[in-house]
Amino acid sequence: MCGIVGIAGSYEGKENILRDSCRKIAYRGPDSQGVWLSQEGQIGFGHVRLAIQDLSVQGHQPMASADQRFMMVFNGEIYNHLELRAQLEQSAQAPAWRGHSDTETLLASFCAWGIAQTLKKAIGMFAIAVWDQQEKKLTLARDRFGEKPLYYGFTRQGLVFASELKAMMDVPGFEKTLNRDAVTLLLRHNYIPAPHSIFQDVFKLPPGTWLSLSEQDWQNRRKPEPQVYWSAYETARQQPKVHYESDDAAIDALAGVLSRSIQSQLISDVELGAFLSGGTDSSLIVALMQQQSAQAVKTFSIGFHEKKYNEAEYARSIAQHLGTDHTELYVSANDGLALVQSLPAMYDEPFADSSQIPMALVTKMASQSVTVALSGDAGDELFGGYSRYQRAASWWDRREKTVPLVRSLVASAAGKLAPGFGGNKKDKLQKLQEVLRATDAVDFYRQFVSYWKDPSSVVLGGRELATAFSLAPIGSFLETMMIVDTVSYLPDDILVKVDRAAMACSLETRVPLLDPHMFEFAWGLEDKYRVRDGQNKWLLKQLLYRLVPRSLLDRPKKGFSVPMGEWLRGPLKDWASDLLDPVRLRKQGLLDVAQIHERWQQHQAQQFDWSPHLWGVLMLQAWMDHYDIQG
């Protein structure tokens, strides 16, 4: 795992710029640092390395292809790179290998098959920048699901790109102009969805795409449209359903595809471990991982002193049953308070999933024992696991049974009544109005994953931009919710949360459920294998029951969350009060002071738990302070 930076254009002192940018993200790759400049001096790459495969100097980056045509910086892992090497050797297209890194494999594949075809063949997580000396083209590419980040944008001098925004902010000509439209999206979702970023003229490369730029492009600040080499949405939409002769046959099929994915992700020259929350997904990953390991797998979990949030005791019982080498850490409010100050630097742009706090703590704990950790992320998106799916489905069913005229009348009444109320009642009436007026299932579901229901009224001068919620519904209502989350919430919240927290302590994370074969298998399932008899993730649980006693598993899910509502009334109150001070907000001129002040007061009076809404505003304000950003 690594960090990459690059510039293209008329920058003076390119080497110094790149080295300075590398220093800002050195934690992503503490093992070595490298800089390369093209002969013409127009292109420059920087790389910081966390050595995972081929720890020798043969894995050092930036790396050139054997024929010197391609120069590349690469962040990630290619799990099937040995298979790619074998294909190259069988077709007599392999070079004389210098080492055994997947970086060298990618470069040889570019030479043999071209960049676009290589991306389609490669299975892994990655952010890549490649300079083609022959075609004079710069290509940026990102993995299928967006596990690895890649920002890019333009300055007066040319193009700049990096794994994180902080590596770009001090590049000469970079304008830290706040994108108010992105702030509007932040308040709705508590994250900023790709391709948008918190800054104007800076973008996130969407998952499953590549972007090719010429010298004329960066000289003229022209942004070509990213090209799609793989689409989760299209794959899900077109995936045929598979008929299984029995439930056991479906369970066996799942065991096979998931075990193969885990096996491929155990490739490493350093020690591996896994996160174990005690929930279905992480428990299944660890159980199958332990089956393939001759030694006790190192596992890690976080606990809370507040019992209603704590699952550490369950994780401990599962670890004991599986025979893992288990470590746990209990988190207090003071731990959260101590960490909050570092979140803006860690997450690089405003990000407001409060489970970022326990994630940062568990990754730090794991990094003291291992360099790579597997996680159970994506089980909810692939197997219908989120509890909100059942709530939303219940609302959708009632809505569809209501005749359109009644829907329209009730929505109109709710809209007229809402302004006469404050706080929670107003919020519920607005939600009722919006779900009744939703144009389709995607628009309807949007209300269930929104925080501020009308964020453009909160962000002064902000408007909402198009996101994944403009996609057309597919399949069943459950499948529509799952695919929207897969292309929005998963890459822009879950995977961001994991990547930034882990990389801050030089830990690589891997997600076996995001193998493309695993994705195709999951989308070949009928809904009865996802939810049955009120039980979500039904198929995952049936496989897990073969490996872990039901008595350790069958309990309500608590989720990976913190008691943020209580913390904002207690140990975080003074910190939050300063950031939400009406005088400060009014002077800033970015947000509607009255709406924020009202919710802060109601939260303190325990009239309603507004912590998810307030956390988005707090993370924005803390980020602006840290990077000295003006409204």
235-294: per-residue pLDDT in tens? 999 999 999 999 999 999 999 999 999 999 998 888 899 999 999 999 999 999 999 998
Across residues 160-167, what is the average pLDDT?
98
Asked whether residue 314 carries a pLDDT value surpassing 80, the answer given is yes
* DSSP assignment letter at 270: S
Query: Which runs of consecutive H residues, i.e. helices, occur in 272-347?
Result: 280-291, 312-322, 333-340, 343-347
Catalytic positions, please? 2
Distance CA 159, CA 139 (A): 12
Q: Is the pLDDT of residue 296 over 70?
A: yes
- pLDDT at residue 162 is higher than 60: yes
Radius of gyration in angstroms for the set of CA atoms belonging to the chain, rounded to a whole number: 24
Q: For position 421, what pLDDT does the model report?
A: 67
Tell me how crowded residue 489 is: count the other CB atoms within 10 A of its CB: 22
Q: Helix or strand or coil: residue 196? A: coil
| pLDDT reported for residue 403 | 75
pLDDT band at 436 (very low <50, low <70, confident <90, very high): confident
Task: Decide if pLDDT at 559 tops 70.
Answer: no
Which amino acid would we find at residue 423? G
pLDDT recorded at residue 423: 62
SS3 279: coil
Average the pLDDT over 298-305 and give the result. 88
**pLDDT higher than threshold 70 for residue 309:** no
Q: What angle do CA 294, 296, 299 make, to 5 degrees?
A: 140
Residue 378 has pLDDT above 60, yes or no: yes
Q: How confident is the model at residue 429 (pLDDT cuts 50, 70, 90)?
A: confident
For the record, the structure tokens of 112 come out as: 């043999």
Q: How far apart are CA 344 and CA 628, in angstroms?
A: 11
Cβ neighbours, 10 Å, residue 46? 29
Query: Stretch 208-222: mean pLDDT, rounded?
Result: 95
Q: Is the pLDDT reported for residue 332 higher than 80?
A: no
Find the mean pLDDT for residues 3-13.
Answer: 96
User: What integer pLDDT is reported at residue 562 of this predicted model?
Assistant: 79
pLDDT interval class at 369 (50, 70, 90) = very high
Question: Does residue 303 have a pLDDT over 90?
Answer: no
* Statement: residue 79 has pLDDT above 80: yes
Write the DSSP assignment of 155-176 as a string of letters. -SSEEEEESSGGGTTTSTT---
For residues 274 and 498, give the distance between their C-alpha atoms in angstroms, rounded to a whole number: 13
pLDDT band (50, 70, 90) for residue 330 = confident
For residues 201 and 155, give the distance between their C-alpha atoms in angstroms, rounded to a whole number: 8
Whether residue 222 has pLDDT greater than 70: yes
Q: Quick one: average pLDDT of 284-306?
A: 92
pLDDT of residue 453: 87
What is the distance between the alpha carbons of residues 30 and 480, in angstroms, rounded to a whole number?
A: 41
DSSP assignments along 477-541, one per residue: HHHHHHHHHHHTHIIIIIHHHHHHHHHTTT-EEE-GGG-HHHHHHHHTS-GGGTEETTEESHHHH
- What DSSP string describes 30-49? BSEEEEEE-TTSSEEEEEEE
- Model confidence at 412, pLDDT cuts 50, 70, 90, reads confident
Q: Tell me what pLDDT residue 401 has.
A: 82
Q: Tell me which of 482 and 411 has the higher pLDDT.
A: 482
Residue 417 CA to residue 436 CA, distance in Å, equals 15
Longest alpha-carbon distance in the chain: 75
Residue 215 has a pLDDT of 93
Cα dist from 343 to 336, 349, 620, whole Å: 10, 10, 11
Mean of all residue pLDDT scores within the chain: 93
Strand 298-304 relative to strand 272-275, pairing: parallel
Per-residue pLDDT band for 556 (boundaries 50, 70, 90) equals low
3-state secondary structure of 372: strand
Q: In what order do the strands lie in the sheet with 508-510?
A: 325-331, 298-304, 272-275, 372-374, 508-510
Backbone angles phi, psi at 408, to 5 degrees: -65, -40
- Residue 404 pLDDT class (50, 70, 90 cuts): confident
* Strand partners for 374: 274, 510
Q: Is residue 304 over pLDDT 90?
A: no
3-state DSSP helix/strand/coil % of the chain, to nearest 5: 50, 15, 35
**Residue 557 — very low, low, confident or very high, per pLDDT cuts 50/70/90?**
low
